[in-house]
Amino acid sequence: MSERTNRSTTSRREFLARSAGVAAATALAGLAAPPVHAAGSDEIRVALIGCGGRGTGAAANALSVKPGPIKLVAMADVFPNRLQSSLDGLKSQFPNLVDVPEDRRFIGFDAYRKAMDCLKAGDIAIFATPPAFRWVHFGYAIEKGLHVFMEKPVTVDGPTTRRLFQLADEADKKNLKVGVGLMSRHSRALQELADRIRDGQIGDVVLLRGYRMHGPVGFFSSLPKPPDISELMFQVQRFHSFLWASGGCYSDFYIHIIDHCGWMKGAWPVKAQGIGGRHYRRSPDGPEYVDQNFDSYSVEYQFADGTTFIMDGRCMTGCTDRYSSYAQGTKGLAIISAHGDCGAPSRIYKGPAPERSKLLWESKIKPGEENPYQNEWNDLVDAIRNNKPYNEAKRGAEASLVTSLGRMAAHTGQLVAYDEILQSDHEFAPGLDKLTADSPAPLLPDAKGKYPIPQPGITRKREY
């Protein structure tokens, strides 16, 4: 191992040790503080900031929590039609739990403040906007004394990750509960599998593999901006296409598998190298896509003990689909997710192959706990009502950074260390706390309407 890698590994360990010490101290302090909501007694009010599909789903999970009254009272987005569609769907599903009159529906880049101003200390703010805005919204929630549920990823680069670590500590000091939408951690099947791996049932973990390969989804690709929308609003609307807004498809699509593979190993990788490319970047009608994504990635992460984790991703039509994850040990094989980000059943086999005759364990989930999206909300609200230590922000930031680490390795063509990206000064979109509808977009196109794309081996210190 090189001297540079040794320095990176050592400083990373020191950083995580310091973070663990702070987390332990603040968790103990939180135990002494009185709960904001007495167990099961008073109403928790919720504000939804970011009313797309994932935000609407998170709000539905919040309103489905039992016991105790929960009500949605404010909503915010930059697109009026998105807010209205979300409101209509939630009202039809939860007619008695949605109370969002016109004066509590807010549009614009400052709408998050207005929505959170409708809450009282101890209520919950949901953040489901593009990830670039997490640190902005989280900071205001802490100022207001609000508990938070934020969707993943929570950062897209090194500078915003450092900022999230600081904000996570501030939330701890105020005894605020923070959930992060990495729902694999709340899959009861994966929780039991993680315990069994810790107990040595597959031996020492020596290889992890993750696959998310399917056709284009979400806003993975974008054609040139139409004339009826501003550059800024176009990029916010199609956030998967732009690295500043979402970390691109690599960060937004692959973070779940990267997170739960690190969980099964019980560590984060210390470095990564990767490849990828823009192989098919024209639409069926001919125009070239202008987004910043590669359509295929293969990243090799390495842990401090030499264990390898390979993450393969692809967004191409007509190719074989594969969407699952595995942990190989010296004694056996674990299927972590059988399908999707955390699809049950998880299984353990004796030896290296998933042969039915060598099946040693298969997960069984208690009725009512099958849905990890609902579990994460049940766990968050339980922590709020019963004043249990609960702050997933640090871990969410670490998972986001490790995901960005793999993306940066593929985009630059370099071997990138964890500390290298953590200490990077390349903030993709500075000043988002001051953004208005009239602001220029953080990324500007050239005269042909194209945006800078990663060029491995040419642009080596930053991704574009």
Tokens 């970390």, located at residue: 247
Which element (helix H / strand E) includes 416?
Answer: strand 416-417
Nearest to 313 by CA among 230, 363, 391, 247: 247
Say if residues 40 and 71 touch (Cβ distance below 8 Å): no
- The β-bridge partners of 127 are 49, 150
Tokens 């190993």, located at residue: 265
- CATH of the domain spanning 3-184+373-391, picked from 3.10.105.10, 1.10.287.1080, 3.40.50.720, 2.60.40.10: 3.40.50.720
pLDDT reported for residue 19: 41
Q: Where in the chain is the domain with CATH 3.40.50.720?
A: 3-184+373-391
Residues 6 or more apart in contact with residue 125 via CB below 8 angstroms: 46, 47, 49, 115, 116, 119, 137, 141, 144, 146, 147, 148, 149
Q: Where are the beta strands (DSSP E) in 181-321?
A: 205-214, 271-277, 296-302, 308-315
Say if residues 397 and 268 touch (Cβ distance below 8 Å): no
Which letter does DSSP use for residue 103 in this model? G
Structure tokens at 36: 């904001």
pLDDT reported for residue 266: 98
Distance CA 146, CA 113 (A): 12
* Per-residue pLDDT tens over the stretch 150-177: 999 999 999 999 999 999 999 999 999 9
pLDDT reported for residue 287: 87
**186-368+401-434 is classed CATH 3.40.1160.10:** no
Residues of the chain with pLDDT under 50: 1-35, 38-40
pLDDT reported for residue 102: 98
pLDDT reported for residue 38: 43
Give the distance, in angstroms, between the CA of residue 346 and the centroid of all CA atoms in the same chain: 22
3-state secondary structure of 453: coil
Tokens 């991703």, located at residue: 313
pLDDT reported for residue 31: 41
Distance CA 395, CA 424 (A): 19
Nearest to 388 by CA among 398, 400, 399, 379: 379
Which letter does DSSP use for residue 458 in this model? T
Q: Where in the chain is the domain with CATH 3.30.360.10?
A: 186-368+401-434
**Torsion (CA) 316, 317, 321, 327 in degrees, nearest 10:** 10
Which element (helix H / strand E) includes 76?
Answer: strand 70-77
* Per-residue pLDDT tens over the stretch 276-332: 999 988 877 788 999 999 999 999 999 999 999 999 999 999 999 999 999 999 999
3-state secondary structure of 95: coil
